[in-house]
Amino acid sequence: MESIECTRDCPNTSKINEDLVKDDFTPSKLGTKEYWDDAYQRELQTFKDIGDVGEIWFGEESMDRVLRWMEKEEIPEDAAILDIGTGNGVLLVELAKSGYTNLTGIDYSAASVKLARSVLQTEDFSNVEVKEVDFLSCSGELSDFDVCIDKGTFDAISLNPENTEEGKACYIQSLRGALKEEGLFVITSCNWTKEQLLQMFSQGFDFVKELPTPRFQFGGKTGNSVTAIIFKRLH
């Protein structure tokens, strides 16, 4: 198993945090590495026992939404694509099935990496690269990607009981390092609204578009159950 351990000096978050959206999230075990190690270890065992890949974060529609956008935008099949927080690797499988050939998945959970590799191998996509990487502490190892996709990872970082603001700032810096100039970032979130994401990613990124997501009404107000935004990396 390939494991990348590297360090990164994150920016001084006191300046950045003035511009970041203040949240009232209660810290959660969903933001801890221990939770995901345990969860993916169980899913890995289940996959070995009965072939069930486990939970698809935000459901299959969240993957289909991204794939439809990529097809509409005519993202080249050889575009370098990074799946940030790949989990069980199912998104990588769907990308490969759609013809994309230059795929990389990363996760900081060793059990996730084992599971994703097992799922990919079962689908005959063992050539897809999956690495054990902590996105928040990696410098220079991830670069020159045309597209970065996040489906719940930034949400989990936002729920971490420790160093939440520093984690979000490190994420944004790591993202800038991973993407090429004018590279595209696709984020799906159930914690943040469009307005909040626009504010948090205002430094170094330009808003491209919002993808349609399910809407609901409650108490006379209308909202979205998830938010999906496309950003472009600036100079």
pLDDT at 30 over 90: no
**Closest C-alpha to 67, from 102, 103, 91:** 91
pLDDT tens track for 109-135: 999 999 999 999 999 999 999 999 999
Return mean pLDDT, the chain.
86
Task: Report the range out of 20-34, 57-71, 142-156, 218-232 with the highest average pLDDT.
Answer: 142-156
pLDDT tens track for 67-91: 999 999 999 999 999 999 999 999 9
d(C-alpha 140, C-alpha 193), whole Å: 30
Instruction: Map residue 199 onto helix, strand or coil.
Output: helix
- Taking residues 12-20, report their average pLDDT: 41
Q: What percent of the chain has pLDDT over 90?
A: 70
**Closest C-alpha to 42, from 7, 72, 87:** 87
Q: Whole-model pTM?
A: 0.87
pLDDT at 216 over 50: yes
Phi, psi at residue 139, to the nearest 5°? -125, 115
pLDDT at 15 over 90: no
CA dihedral 217, 222, 225, 226 (to 10 degrees): 170
pLDDT category of residue 32 using cuts at 50, 70 and 90: confident
Q: Are 134 and 59 in contact (CB under 8 A)?
A: no
pLDDT tens track for 130-166: 999 999 986 678 999 999 999 999 999 999 878 789 9
User: What local confidence, expressed as pLDDT, does residue 2 receive?
Assistant: 37
- Taking residues 53-65, report their average pLDDT: 83
pLDDT tens track for 168-209: 999 999 999 999 999 999 999 999 999 999 999 999 999 999
